[in-house]
Structure 1
């Protein structure tokens, strides 16, 4: 990390964490109080916390924590990756033997490092620093919609507000999403007005994504708004249309080009996935990735994964939830290509696929579904410097390839299996709406790699791309194998520190607090 940012984060961490009592419930408190004079010094006490928030969306400097924060849940559940390691005697998240001491980590990291920092910066900015206030809101939504999409109810509007019984109340997922839309609307309007007035752009020194480019932050916020609008369309169509069309019609628009990707620069620290894959050998290609990318003869395949020692054309992925007794059984399967020192949370290609789906929904401002679909693919190809996108998009015959596990034929997915996708690449205007949606989401899934959280969320929302169910299901019948895992149970640390509010939050779910209960927006 650059030395200046490191010193800023050290300062803000001391200030923020120094106010904590050491009890975990303090993630729900925000007892910091600094005078206006403390804000002098090049906006350090607003900018440095937001640098921290970016870096801790995924724990950039602590691979063991990052592995539990996202990799051994969403990255696996999304169908992107699989581990050859039989953790805990091969009873673990990969086969739905959910481990509470793993599943606390997404919650802990979000509240301890990100939510606290965003609220702190937001409160310090107030009305005097509208650009920093808007930035804090955008970062808060980016972080917390991910947590809501893991667990459901979250502490958002009532963050820092203790009840007389010492509890901290949650928002239902519906209420949280309504607040996300409100906060994005506020942030977009504030930042747009600030830019239109020709005011100075002041957070360049702290911005690890766009280097202080306010217009790109507005475009990102618009795209995030569209992402969330598309997400809720299955449960609240009017609200989805209103929010989606607001994003589509904003004069500064959405992310458009690969250079617009929302990716946090963690230089000189290496990407934590590199450590998991190469140093620990805990990470390999997934079976669905092998099936779809090989079947499509997708030129992005060697940009994502490394061929095996069997030959330059041989890529092998591991199926989720299979019997593994020794790591060596599957450690020779395809590794990830070493990632650059940036952690990607939104590819610009996603914006085009969102517009394609908005077009299917009939939303004003979306444009042509076919055009947006093809722009999504070409933008992804541009990101990886891959040519012949026209030939790829004309392919109307290639389909996902049957999966063969050379180690264990019982893990195979044969031709004709209902979990093996039959969708082709070429856009078919005469296809059914469902076939069009499958095409859009399948290509979107490919383009979003390696951001497993969003890929898992979109799979749950749409059922696409078609993935392979686990072979071993250690959920004790709480998760339906054919319906896949839908969420993580609420973190056990909240059961210990915030039990009364947690009980009220669980009552807002569609069922029991387990991995088989769908979230509010999940209608599949």
Structure 2
């Protein structure tokens, strides 16, 4: 599809979807470009253009300052993937738990204004007439909104269009939201499966920036997303997790299998926003845990993810989170990210294999063996980056994470023997405890999912792996434990202003106060 045509569709979608996120769609069909609905229906633009927008705005592809606040200065940092050399706000900011509400509104605002609304609009127009578009919107909505629930907890999902008499919109608790996610995925998967089995014409191609209109690929993605969410809740709701996980595992069209299945949103010709943050602004560098684990493992993916420093071709340096930074120049010489292609990654086939490995440990039917899935996850990740020396890596039973040394300040060091330094090796050990197997799976999964920090942060909170380094400076005012790490972001201030009564009820569904130290529903590991 020509980029000029895509731009026109996005302009149309932006106009159609331009109202606020709290409330019904008011005047949503007014279009100053004079495209009537009948004209737009001719090639499905009325349903398809908003879906292009939804894909592009999972991360604000064309607005790096917003993308930086939407994900990079929270999940990308909290996951242990990256760190900023910039002492934002006098070095009191998210990186050291000095949470800034005017930063942390952005994930919520972007999801509702640009993604949820687009999906809901497509569902509104497709309902009863275009079941395939309706199913597509269901799947995309879950992909967007599980991320928001995994940041905040309760979200507005099933009640999005149900305005109360006092103009409020009710929330779903995280448990209610997850159950709704599973219902939507089941419905979307069933609809698209029926389309494929019937041989019906597939109509997404002009709008789909991920799989170019391939319904089978969307089914495989939705199955994998279903398995991801099932694994996510396996520690709190085992019966539901098993039922949903086995439904995904047993589906005849399967999960993501290899790198061609990866869920990548094509934003070309726009550059990846992380490139701007790293190279143009110098606000982004490698993290200390990444340095420790990748150099300790002698992981060949190291040079695919990060750039060596001027100290030499084998010298990589990462910044520890939550440290005292007096000026950007102090750490700007540490390792940059390798420039990313113009596609934003949200799920890989490697992740699917690691999900299957954990499902196998749980004894779920259809999962196969944990050992095979674990090794397949590593080899699939290697193949994604064109690496071939996977057997030596998989069979390495000696390499471990290296102690971390900060050449600028020894206060930030993580020495050998520290409880925060991982001792897990690479090679699968069938006789190991289940806990050790989980650590091995999640550590390799964490490496393979880079640079998608949102999912990595969620999995770290769920499992405690890989072992990360606690902040040195904690500006949370004792609301977040350094040893237990940040668990969530407080509910967005915009909701305190526009939807206070519903928000007050939603906060009561949390396991504690509305701060960064309170665990989410599925976050149960001690």
TM-score by length of 2: 0.97
Match of 1:474 in 2: 475
Q: How many residues align?
A: 518
Name 2:26's counterpart in structure 1: 31
The corresponding residue for 2:269 is 268
Counterparts in 2 of 1:400-439, with a 5 A limit? 400-439=401-440
Contact 1:27-1:112 at 8 Å conserved across structures: no
Is the Cα contact below 8 Å between 2:37 and 2:46 reproduced in 1? Answer: no
Runs of 4+ in 1 over 3 A off after TM superposition: 31-36
Aligned to 2:32: none
User: Whole-Å Cα distance in 1 between the matches of residues 441 and 493 of structure 2?
Assistant: 37
The secondary structure found in structure 2 opposite 1:343 is strand
Show the counterpart of 1:384. 385
Q: CA deviation at 1:192?
A: 0.2
Report how far residue 37 of structure 1 moved: 2.6
Partner residue, 1:208: 209
2: CA distance, partners of 1:300 / 1:158: 44
CA RMSD of aligned residues (A): 1.0
Counterpart for residue 190 of structure 2? 189
* Deviation string, structure 1 residues 356-383 (Cα, Å, up to 9, x no partner): 0000000000001000000000000000
C-alpha distance in structure 1 between counterparts of 2:428 and 2:386, whole Å = 22
Is 2:241 the counterpart of 1:246?
no
2:65 maps to 1:64: yes
Q: Tell me the SS of whatever aligns to 2:225.
A: helix
Matches of 1:207 and 1:275 in 2, distance apart? Answer: 25
Match of 1:291 in 2: 292
1:206 aligns to what SS in structure 2? coil
The separation in 2 between residues aligned to 1:364 and 1:309, in whole angstroms, is 51
Please say if residues 16 and 32 of structure 1, whose CA atoms lie closer than 8 Å, have aligned partners that are also in contact: no
Match for residue 82 of structure 1? 83
1:110 is matched with 111
Q: CA deviation at 1:32?
A: 5.2
CA distance in 2, matches of 1:469, 1:137: 38
- 1:355 aligns with 356
For 1:497 and 1:228, how far apart are their aligned partners in 2? 30
Q: How far 1:39 moved relative to its partner?
A: 4.6
Cα gap change, 1:522 to 1:36, in 2 (>3 Å): same
Measure the CA separation in 1 of the matches of 2:202 and 2:249: 25
Give distance in 1, aligned partners of 2:28 and 2:225: 31
Q: Report if the CA contact (8 A) 2:17-2:28 is conserved.
A: no
Aligned to 2:512: 511
Q: Residue in 1 aligned with 2:279?
A: 278
Match of 1:126 in 2: 127
CA distance in 1, matches of 2:504, 2:308: 49
Q: Map 1:335-354 onto structure 2 (within 5 A).
A: 335-354=336-355
| Larger mean Cα displacement after TM superposition, 137-146 or 30-39 | 30-39
Query: 1:393, 1:488 → 2: CA distance?
Result: 36
Q: Matched residues in 1 for 2:174 and 2:221: separation?
A: 22
Q: How does 1:487-502 map to 2 (within 5 A)?
A: 487-502=488-503
- Structure-1 separation of matches of 2:59 and 2:491: 19
The 3-state SS of whatever aligns with 1:12 is helix
Q: Matches of 2:55 and 2:359 in 1, distance apart?
A: 28
The 1:28–1:454 alpha-carbon spacing in structure 2 relative to 1, beyond 3 Å, is: farther
Tell me the alpha carbon deviations over residues 107-154 of structure 1, each in whole angstroms, 9 at most, x when there is no partner. 000000000000000111112111101100000000000000000000
CA contact (8 A) 1:404 1:412 kept: yes
Residues 414-452 of structure 1: CA deviation (Å, up to 9, x unaligned): 000000000000000000000000000000000000000
Paired position in structure 1 for 2:227 = 226
Give, in angstroms, the shift of residue 30 of structure 1. 2.5
CA distance in 2, matches of 1:122, 1:268: 29
| Residues 80-121 of structure 1: per-residue CA shift (max 9 Å, x gap) | 000000000000000000000000000000000000000000
**Residue 309 of structure 1 corresponds to which residue in structure 2?**
310
More moved, 31-40 vs 449-458: 31-40
User: Aligned partners of 2:349, 2:172: CA distance in 1, in Å?
Assistant: 30
Output one character per residue of 1:259-299: Cα deviation in whole Å (capped at 9) or x when no partner.
Answer: 11001000000000000000000000000000000000000
**Cα offset, 1:36, TM superposition:** 6.1
The one-character-per-residue Cα deviations of 1:67-89 (angstroms, maximum 9, x if unpaired) are 00000000000000000000000
2:46 corresponds to 1:51: no
| Distance in 2, Cα, partners of 1:161 & 1:363 | 38
Q: Equivalents in 1 of 2:40, 2:190: separation in Å?
A: 24
In the other structure, the counterpart of 1:448 is 449
Q: In structure 2, do the counterparts of structure 1 residues 450 and 515 end up closer, same or farther at CA, with 3 Å as the change threshold?
A: same
Give yes or no for the alignment of 1:523 onto 2:524.
yes
Tell me if structure 2 keeps the 8 A contact 1:60–1:269.
yes
How far, CA to CA, are the matches of 1:33 and 1:6 in structure 2? 19
CA distance in 2, matches of 1:3, 1:370: 48
Q: How does 1:364-379 map to 2 (within 5 A)?
A: 364-379=365-380
Mapped contact 2:22–2:169 kept (Cα < 8 A):
no
Looking at structure 2, the residues matched to 323 and 287 of structure 1 have their Cα atoms a distance apart, in angstroms, of 14
Give the CA deviation at 1:38. 5.4
Deviations 1:23-74 (A, max 9, x none): x5x4442235658635523100100000000000000000000000000000
Unaligned runs of 5+ in 1: none
Please give the per-residue CA displacement for 1:474-522, whole angstroms capped at 9, x wherever unaligned: 0000001100000000000100010000000000000000000000000
Aligned-residue offset at 1:224: 0.1
Secondary structure at the counterpart of residue 17 of structure 2: helix
Take 1:83 and 1:33, find their aligned partners in 2: how far apart are those partners? Answer: 40
